[in-house]
Amino acid sequence: MKKKKKETAVKEKFSLNLMWRQRYLLLMSVPFVIWLIIFKYVPLWGWTMAFQEVKPGTFALPVWERRFVGFDNFVKAFTDRLFPQTMVNTIAISILGIAIGTISSILFALILNELCFTKFKKLTQTVSYLPHFVSWVIIASIAKMLFNDGGAIDTMLNTKLHLMSTNSWVFWVVVCLINVWKEMGWDAIIYLSAMAGIDQGLYEAAKVDGANRFQRIWHVTLPCIKPTIIVLLIMSIGSALNVGMERQMLLSNSVVQDHAMVLSWFAYVRGIGNNNYGLGTAIGVFQSVVGVILLFIANKVAGLIGEDKLV
């Protein structure tokens, strides 16, 4: 017992000494912590609207004066005729986006990492992540000129592919590919950073053992960046239901509406569109809670199979 108390005291003293040595770093983090509390945690008070009847006439009332409806907003959301197809669309687009986006980003980072011409490598990397800073309004306009019926793709192939006017899973694939084109270069930056930290001695040892370029990628590069891949996958799974509403609204049309509706858009239509802020908040709360559950499950599974995890 005395030994444990002594170890605990030593650990506490070490922690206090470490905090004192890093006091300036901790002081620099204070503004960011304040920002996090104000803009991320304080707004959680708005979740109370999910359990109340909140409409334009009652929006300005204090929380305690609004009518409490319990889980009625959640029941209305789950029994809505659009909810089942909306969930299918959200899950399908999320899975496709995570799979295609992760693979394409890793492959692109590997290609850039293997380039020997430094100037060309920097130019390619800069050009590749520029679309990340372009708004979805412009991206959607370019995509429609390319993929709409009679667009550039149909003109070049002299056919009608109906890529953005077919009410089927094809629309999901097209949306994910457009998103990959927009975000692939930006997402590859993290993998490139991980590759930059790999000990070059490992590559030299592999060369001595007779490994060619592809073998060095498979046996050195990929195993070394595996922790980064696992962490990013876990975080992507945690935000699986938070599919962006902007790209769906801008890329969809009346024909593909059934396969374009996702949860965030559904919350906008049923919440703000119908002046029922409580219902819209309930859908948002559902997204957040399921996202947190998925995050913990993915993190736990990664730990059970012996891979790197968040904590």
- Residue-wise pLDDT for 168-216, tens only, equals 788 888 889 999 999 999 999 999 999 988 988 899 999 988 888 899 9
46/281 Cα distance (integer angstroms): 8
4 pLDDT exceeds 90? no
**The tokens 């913990």 sit on which residue?**
296
How much of the chain, in percent, has pLDDT values that exceed 70? 93
Q: Contacts for 108-115 with beta carbons within 8 Å, 24 or more apart? A: 108/184, 108/185, 108/188, 109/188, 109/191, 109/192, 109/195, 110/191, 110/195, 110/217, 110/221, 112/188, 112/192, 113/192, 113/195, 113/221, 114/213, 114/217
pLDDT on residue 253: 81
- One-letter amino acid of 180: V
| Direct distance between the N- and C-terminal alpha carbons of the chain, in angstroms, rounded to an integer | 29
Stated pTM of the model? 0.83
175 domain-assigned: yes
7 pLDDT exceeds 80? no
305 domain-assigned: no
64 domain-assigned: no
pLDDT on residue 302: 80
When mean pLDDT is compared across 33-37, 97-101, 158-162, 250-254, the lowest value belongs to 158-162
154/145 Cα distance (integer angstroms): 10
209 domain-assigned: yes
- Contact of 110 with 223, CB cutoff 8 Å: no
CATH number of the domain where residue 180 is located: 1.10.3720.10
The average confidence (pLDDT) of the chain is 85
Average pLDDT over residues 150-160: 77
Nearest to 288 by CA among 229, 238, 231, 246: 238
264 domain-assigned: no
182/177 Cα distance (integer angstroms): 9
121 domain-assigned: yes
pLDDT tens digit string along 57-107?
777 777 778 888 889 999 999 999 999 999 999 999 999 999 999 999 999
67 domain-assigned: no
Rounded to 10 degrees, the C-alpha dihedral 62/63/68/71 comes to: 140
Domain extent for 191: 98-239
Distant-in-sequence, close-in-space partners of 259: CB < 8 Å, separation ≥ 6 = 85, 89, 167, 168, 169, 171, 172
CA 28 to chain CA mean position, Å: 27
pLDDT tens digit string along 248-288?
888 888 888 888 899 999 999 888 888 888 899 999 999 98
**How many domains does the chain fold into?**
1
- Contact of 162 with 149, CB cutoff 8 Å: yes
pLDDT on residue 307: 60
Average pLDDT over residues 43-61: 83
73 domain-assigned: no
10 pLDDT exceeds 60? no
20 or 85, which is more confident?
85
